[in-house]
Chains A and B, each alone.
Chain A
């Protein structure tokens, strides 16, 4: 897509805002609409847009495959570890009340970490699935469509 000047400029302008909105949806999910699932797909959409416009190889330099293969399980592990940590503090599995001094503060931090885990796994899985498809074909010339 080397010669699609408009697409390249607009994508470059949009991507920071998409990422920022993804972060907002992630970390403001306690107060406004949103949460880990939504933030994860919005974040992944930004990286996929980048890969579409600037090419798969360039996108692999931004987020290497090795980082993705760590991030995919990391979110799930973060979630599960939060659950087990509550168990260690003599609460129930995934009981956030015991995480900090007061139950409400514990709930806040628990939900925050758990949603972060969801966001990481969802974003990494979405980008990985896209890569799995994109990596199977060579870049297609415009004339081929």
Chain B
């Protein structure tokens, strides 16, 4: 058997660790540990993206997946309980659906073009003109940037609008100022729609 190259070994190790992390996340009941493992999962995915030469995606995965979203989930945990209350039950229908879907995906995989194949249909349609145009029309070496910011600028404007809207939604729903002078307490956080001036603890009527 020929010695596999180093990228293959790294891929196998990373994918094995990913599966172990995923199973561990499923088994754990302590949510703090689950959040920590989710961060580890994202970091491993970032490593996998590096081996796929998608360094920019790996940046995002490491910063958002392993960093910011882990912190946000910890922040959520601070507002709620740290243990999953209901023990999970094995659902036969769910298991069946997952097995069928997984089998279908594996069955379809060999029909896909080989990874990085320049003759793949998705690389034939409009990509050659982008690769040529990025040099001749736009003049920057990073083709991803020239597609993202120039050829598909409409899409990117839409994406920024989506991020803007998401941010505004969170700010409006959750981002009220902490009101220390009114004696901020967790009761206020639990009933965000109640006017803080009128809030009484546990059903004390007005």
Count of A-B contacts with CB under 8 A? 157
Tell me if B189 and A137 are in contact (CB < 8 A): yes
Tell me if A72 and B168 are in contact (CB < 8 A): yes
Label chain B's interface by main secondary structure: helix
Give A contacts to B, CB under 8 Å: 25, 29-38, 41-42, 44-45, 48-49, 52, 65, 69, 72-73, 75-76, 79-80, 83, 93-94, 96, 103-104, 107-108, 110-111, 114-115, 117-118, 121-122, 124-126, 128-138, 140, 145
Tell me if A41 and B139 are in contact (CB < 8 A): no
Q: How many residues of B contact A (CB 8 A)?
A: 50
Q: How far apart are the CA atoms of A140 and B76 in the complex, in Å?
A: 13
Label chain A's interface by main secondary structure: helix
> What sequence of 0s and 1s flags, for each residue 131-149 of chain B, a beta carbon within 8 Å of any chain A beta carbon?
0000001111110111011
Give B contacts to A, CB under 8 Å: 32, 55-56, 59-60, 63-64, 67-68, 71-72, 75-76, 78-79, 137-142, 144-146, 148-150, 153-154, 156-157, 159-161, 163-164, 166-168, 170-171, 173-178, 184, 186, 189
Residue in B72, B79, B144, B167 whose CB lies within 8 Å of A124 = B167
Q: Which residue of B lies closest to A111 (CB)?
A: B149
Q: How far apart are the CA atoms of A35 and B150 in the complex, in Å?
A: 13
Residue in B148, B164, B170, B178 whose CB lies within 8 Å of A35 = B148
Q: How far apart are the CA atoms of A115 and B147 in the complex, in Å?
A: 12
Assuming the contacts A34-B56, A132-B174, asked whether A41 and B141 have C-beta atoms less than 8 A apart, the reply is no
